[in-house]
């Protein structure tokens, strides 16, 4: 095990996880002294009756139509954060409940940041630890199992005007409470379940191989990989199975806790760049890049050792024991490729960049964006532009 000379680990999020977890909301909100919550979600979740399900569990709070903001798009943006923060202020709310996936949760974090710093322009707060004021209580109820945003110190908000993904990192962005209720992820289609499940796997793999891996984040990452190995395919096949959905929700939050503390690496750096330049989905981009990024990392001894551990978690003790020690790292990559191929057959996840619309002529722009992504600094070795180009070429078709 690689033991760092120094590390920091922080995760104060209370996690209520399991069947009917929403039943604990009233109690938790009272504990957090919440009276007038501001609920963030999107139209689709309202149509799927998930908003109604949430409202059924809230009693004795001041909630009306004006306290519910349903206009969150698939990607959180500077404008939406600003509009939602205005509604929050106009209605004098005292807390935020985010019901949704990564974009809803990141929007909620953005609003909280704007309110605490009393600003109208969130772009002024980009960077690390720019939150200094008191944050409002934030409760998140994830409806997907992928981004891990329910337990990360990060919010990614798009500046559409400048075509930039703004990153905000602060311990203060962490929610006070994450409620993982399986009913909230039942409607997630197989294709998204698979794609987001791979997103979780990438978070865990990169957290376990990042420069800041540490004994605490390692445990979260390995458990997440174990849950994915055991339950992801089943969750894709049987979306209304409580056990499988809970396993994936827990894998997501654990991988989120892991990478929030040990950071991600080259796969995410290139994935972010593909998202921003070619406007492809985060989950699709990084699921395609995963095996190629792992292949690249095989040249670093400490990544090889980490991948050997991942083989045990992903494939189980029999395969691990029957694989010679020096071949375990490659075997881990093979297991990942096998899983991705199976998910392609099961749910149709894409397997190359060309398929999702990344163009070769955009490679140089993607390389420039990726080399300036902070994730590269936490990746093994000293990543050069040529390394990024070679991964893109390998993942293209």
Partner 1 sequence: MKFLHHIIDRIILLTAGRFLVVLSEKDSRIKKELEFWPDEFTAALAADKHGPFMFIKKLNNKLHYLGFKEDDKKAELKIFFKDEELAYQVFSVKESIRDSFSEHRLIIDGDFSVGVSMIYMLEILESYLLPSFMTKDIMPNKINRETGRVMLFLHTLTLNKDKGE
Where does this chain bind partner 1 (CB under 8 A)? 4, 6-8, 126-130, 167, 210-212, 263, 368-369, 371-374, 376-378, 381-382, 384
Question: What is the nearest approach in angstroms of partner 1 to the Cβ of residue 14?
Answer: 23
Question: What is the nearest approach in angstroms of partner 1 to the Cβ of residue 377?
Answer: 5
In this complex, which beta carbon is closest to partner 1, that of residue 3 or of residue 6? 6
In this complex, which beta carbon is closest to partner 1, that of residue 176 or of residue 373? 373
Question: What is the nearest approach in angstroms of partner 1 to the Cβ of residue 190?
Answer: 35
Question: What is the nearest approach in angstroms of partner 1 to the Cβ of residue 196?
Answer: 24
Question: What is the nearest approach in angstroms of partner 1 to the Cβ of residue 382?
Answer: 4
In this complex, which beta carbon is closest to partner 1, that of residue 160 or of residue 368? 368
CA distance 84 to 374: 28
Q: Residue 164's CB: how many other CB atoms inside 10 A? A: 15
In this complex, which beta carbon is closest to partner 1, that of residue 201 or of residue 376? 376
In this complex, which beta carbon is closest to partner 1, that of residue 28 or of residue 159? 159
Question: What is the nearest approach in angstroms of partner 1 to the Cβ of residue 156?
Answer: 11
In this complex, which beta carbon is closest to partner 1, that of residue 231 or of residue 259? 259
Q: Residue 85's CB: how many other CB atoms inside 10 A? A: 22
CA distance 149 to 151: 5
In this complex, which beta carbon is closest to partner 1, that of residue 131 or of residue 135? 131
Burial of 74 (0-12, 13-18, 19+ CB in 10 A): exposed
Question: What is the nearest approach in angstroms of partner 1 to the Cβ of residue 48?
Answer: 35
Could you tell me if 138 and 110 are in contact, meaning their C-beta atoms sit under 8 angstroms apart?
no
CA distance 231 to 234: 5
Beta-bridge partners for 157:
166
Angle between helices 102-117 and 78-90 (to 10 degrees): 60
Question: What is the nearest approach in angstroms of partner 1 to the Cβ of residue 304?
Answer: 15
CA distance 77 to 71: 11
In this complex, which beta carbon is closest to partner 1, that of residue 22 or of residue 370? 370
Question: What is the nearest approach in angstroms of partner 1 to the Cβ of residue 262?
Answer: 8
Could you tell me if 33 and 241 are in contact, meaning their C-beta atoms sit under 8 angstroms apart?
no
In this complex, which beta carbon is closest to partner 1, that of residue 166 or of residue 315? 166
In this complex, which beta carbon is closest to partner 1, that of residue 33 or of residue 382? 382
Beta-bridge partners for 65:
none
Question: What is the nearest approach in angstroms of partner 1 to the Cβ of residue 106?
Answer: 15
Burial of 163 (0-12, 13-18, 19+ CB in 10 A): exposed
């Amino acid at each position: 095990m690689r033991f760092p000379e120094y590390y920091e680990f922080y995760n104060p999020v209370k996690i209520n996880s399991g069947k009917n977890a929403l039943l604990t909301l009233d109690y938790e909100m009272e504990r957090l002294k919440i009276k007038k919550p501001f609920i963030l979600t999107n139209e689709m979740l309202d149509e799927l009756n998930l908003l109604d399900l949430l409202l059924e569990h809230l009693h004795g709070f001041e909630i009306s139509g004006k306290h519910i903001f349903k206009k969150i798009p698939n990607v959180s943006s500077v404008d939406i954060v600003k509009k939602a923060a205005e509604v929050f202020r106009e209605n004098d709310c005292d807390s935020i409940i985010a019901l949704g996936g990564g974009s809803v949760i990141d929007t909620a974090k953005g609003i909280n940041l704007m309110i605490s710093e009393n600003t109208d322009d969130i772009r002024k707060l980009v960077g690390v630890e720019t939150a200094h004021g008191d944050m409002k209580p934030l409760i998140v109820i994830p409806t997907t199992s992928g981004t891990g945003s329910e337990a990360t110190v990060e919010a990614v908000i798009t500046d559409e005007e400048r075509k930039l993904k703004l990153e905000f990192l602060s311990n203060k962005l962490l929610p006070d409470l994450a409620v993982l209720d399986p009913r909230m992820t039942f409607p997630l289609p197989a294709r998204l379940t698979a794609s987001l499940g791979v997103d979780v796997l990438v978070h865990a793999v990169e957290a376990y191989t990042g420069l800041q891996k540490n004994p605490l984040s390692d445990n979260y990452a390995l458990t997440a990989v174990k849950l994915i190995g055991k339950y992801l395919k089943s969750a894709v096949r049987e979306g209304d199975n409580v056990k499988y959905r809970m396993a994936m929700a827990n894998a997501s939050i654990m991988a989120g806790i892991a990478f929030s503390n040990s950071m991600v690496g080259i796969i995410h750096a290139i994935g972010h760049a593909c998202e921003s330049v070619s406007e492809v989905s985060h989950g699709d981009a990084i699921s395609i890049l995963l095996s190629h990024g792992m292949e690249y990392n095989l040249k670093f001894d400490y990544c090889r050792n980490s991948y050997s551990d991942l083989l045990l978690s992903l494939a189980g003790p029999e395969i691990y024991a029957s694989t010679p020690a020096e071949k375990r790292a490659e075997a881990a990559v093979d297991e990942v490729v096998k899983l991705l191929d199976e998910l392609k057959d099961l749910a149709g996840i894409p397997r190359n960049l060309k398929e999702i619309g990344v163009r070769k002529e955009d490679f140089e722009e993607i390389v420039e964006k990726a080399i300036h992504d902070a994730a590269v600094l936490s990746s093994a070795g000293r990543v050069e532009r040529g390394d990024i180009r070679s991964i893109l070429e390998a993942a293209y078709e």
